Structure 1
Amino acid sequence: MRIALFDSGIGGLTVLTEAMRRLPKEDFLYFADTLHVPYGTKTLPEVKRFVQESVNTIMQEEIQALVVACNTATSAAIEELRRTYDIPIIGMEPAVKPAVKRSQAAGKRVLVFATSLTLSLSKYTDLVARVDDHKVVDSMPLPELVQYCEQLQFDRDEIERYFNRKLSGIDLAQYSTIVLGCTHFPYYKSLLQQILPPHIELIDGSHGTVERLCSLIGCSATPSKGYSGHIEFRCSDGNPAYLDKMARALDYLQTQYTL
């Protein structure tokens, strides 16, 4: 089976890494909309148009399922995509529901990191309203972190300074869970675990997304240490340097830490 994953840039590779681990015999096409990255700072009409154009291109390929591996693109366009195409289309959702459950046990709050556009759209606000009965969820936009990621900027000192600036004035003792609500953000999971207080747990939506993919395509999601399928990278501007960047970013995810 050939499965496509789509994001504005390299963020969705965090989802691809999880999919490769759990579906080691499947083939994957990864498409990045490099003409328009990042999505999180664009307007809603722009993102809808960019997503439709990219998915139209992807659908020219022989694929059996599509993962929109971008929270912003999912929020902006997933329902229209599902009405347009007749293959399984799986989107991303910030892992607010499991985070709220965990926070209740700890008696603390939840902090959601995401892009500005994701946090402003009804898909996110409706999700929070549906699951946050005790009003424990706070949100913080981190648009600059997407740019850091796209530049493959993983220097601990630089990232630590950035988070210290963003989190100044925040009492982290009130929080038990931080949701990484953009697929670019898990690149910084290991760094954040070193920077943040040890009682804070980091979660993202990759695991749940891949579980949903498996249920829709009828595959058994069995974790594996090896991968025997084929991966093809594409990008909307056709830049060979970006294709190389995607390969290097995927290697970073696979060798530096486990999501």
Structure 2
Amino acid sequence: MRIALLDSGLGLLAAASAVRRLRPDADLVLSSDPDSMPWGPRTAADIAERALACARAAAAYAPDALIVACNTASVHALPVLRAELEPGIPVVGTVPAIKPAAAAGGPVAVWATPATTGSPYQRRLIEDFGNGARVTEVPCHGLADAVESGDEPAIDAAVTAAARLTPSGVRTVVLGCTHYELVATRIRAATTPTAPPPADLRGSAAAVAAQALRRAGARPDPDAAPTGAVTVLRAGTPGALPPAALRYAEGRLLAGAPATP
């Protein structure tokens, strides 16, 4: 079995590592275009074009499913990707976990990029799935870029700034950008003073990984032999995980030998 993932940069590591934990024997294809990161400020047409280029590069490896491991690309590119790839390759998008967070009760904060915060898309999610909970949108200035570069001081500064914007008493923090899941431990620590006991963090990686396996017709098997290979495509060219990826547990887990088309 082979699962492909696309994102502008390192945001795909969280979902990829979730697939790896569910199926250690699955080959992974990680397709990104880091030179165009971030995608958020770009036009919808530009985002769709870049996501499609990443998807086409991954499709050459005949994956059993493709995960769009990016909230922004899921908003703007899913119809285009599905029109080109399905039904041959099932395409799974990423949606912030607002629904389960609101269902758990209590005030909710949604940490997202400035481009996503306050957007019609996110406001619709809150309206449709907020379940009457008090939901605060928190813009995380510079956090995705800091995670992408592995800039430790910048990560700490961005997390601290976002935590200051998070109201006290928040019980759940939704991670509305896949990059943020790579620094979940820091986010949890930063939000602890606002909500003792520590606020619950809700990412999307685990749910997206499980859905990709279902769409691929496979079941979780965490005890499978760890034979899965990892292929890294950067702007369609085979390469290796960048040094910044190895700063995160997810990147270290995924470092491995490349597969072949």
Q: Aligning the two structures, in what range does the TM-score lie when normalised by the shorter sequence?
A: 0.7 to 0.9
Q: Is the aligned partner of 1:88 residue 2:90?
A: yes
Unaligned runs of 5+ in 2: 254-261
Q: How is 1:106-255 mapped onto 2 (pairs within 5 angstroms)?
A: 108-119=106-117, 121-155=119-153, 158-168=154-164, 170-173=166-169, 175-197=170-192, 198-199=196-197, 200-224=199-223, 227-236=226-235, 238=237, 243-245=241-243, 248-249=246-247, 251=249, 253-254=251-252
Q: Is the aligned partner of 1:18 residue 2:31?
A: no
Q: Percent identity?
A: 25
**Count of equivalent residues:** 247
Give a deviation string over 1:161-189, Cα, whole Å, max 9, x none.
Answer: 3333334354322x100011111001111
Structure 2 counterpart SS, 1:233: strand
Distance 1:17 1:238, change over 3 A: same
**Which residue of structure 1 aligns with residue 29 of structure 2?**
29
Q: How is 1:37-52 mapped onto 2 (pairs within 5 angstroms)?
A: 37-52=37-52
Q: Is the aligned partner of 1:9 residue 2:5?
A: no
Distance 1:131 1:203, change over 3 A: same
* Distance in 2 between residues matched to 1:239 and 1:2, nearest whole Å: 16
Unaligned runs of 5+ in 1: none
Q: What is the aligned-residue RMSD (CA, Å)?
A: 2.4
**TM-score normalized by structure 2?**
0.84
* Distance in 1 between residues matched to 2:225 and 2:186, nearest whole Å: 25
**TM-score normalized by structure 1?**
0.85
Structure 2 counterpart SS, 1:50: helix
